[in-house]
Amino acid sequence: ALAIADFNAETGQQAVAAIQALGHKAQFIQVDVRESASVQQMMTAAIDGFGQVDILVNNAGIVKNTPAEDSSDQDWLNTINVNLNGVFWCCRAAAQHMLARKSGVIVNIASMSGIIVNKPQPQTAYNVSKAGVIMITKSLAAEWADRGVRVNSVSPGYIGTEMTKAGLTKTEWSDTWLAMTPMGQVGEPVDVANAVWYLASDAAKFATGTNLVIDGGYSIW
């Protein structure tokens, strides 16, 4: 059973419908991860709906490609609030439930941007937020490792998602991205999903505090 939590009700409901069409139980919960109260309400709804939460995947994220000197306070705050604060609010809410049961898995979606600086596009706030996600992951893993909760992250490179497709239409960007990726291509969403599945499963039962990079080799350089 899956709880799909999203700010966008339309896309969230579409995801639920797709899961249900495969014969699985799913429910939609609207949430604004920028607000800790909304996150707490989401977690309560998920527990009420399914009885417990075994796995949390933090996947909310935004990016705005603006030169740092031209960015507004709100540009910075929006990115940090969604990408970094939201991850912590969700981890905290889930842990309050998981630690009581001494069982649970959290997988945070970070980015290779948390360990390298992308080019040619400017995205300082995004890079900072994703570096923070990696450190949140390691810090919480250290706190909760002996209490039954594993915390890991996945750091994708360029993946063919809606967020990335806009950049792929800019030849200057896409040519650089592909040239700097040893495998010479963008990844597919399933590549990230498989990494999440591994970290969430018992196949990774001895892994915590790990940042699994799925970037076609981009960060090798």
Catalytic residues: 126
61 close to 68: Cβ distance less than 8 angstroms? no
The torsion of the CA quartet 67, 68, 71, 74, rounded to 10 degrees, works out to 140
Longest pairwise C-alpha distance within the chain:
51
Residue bearing tokens 């196949």: 203
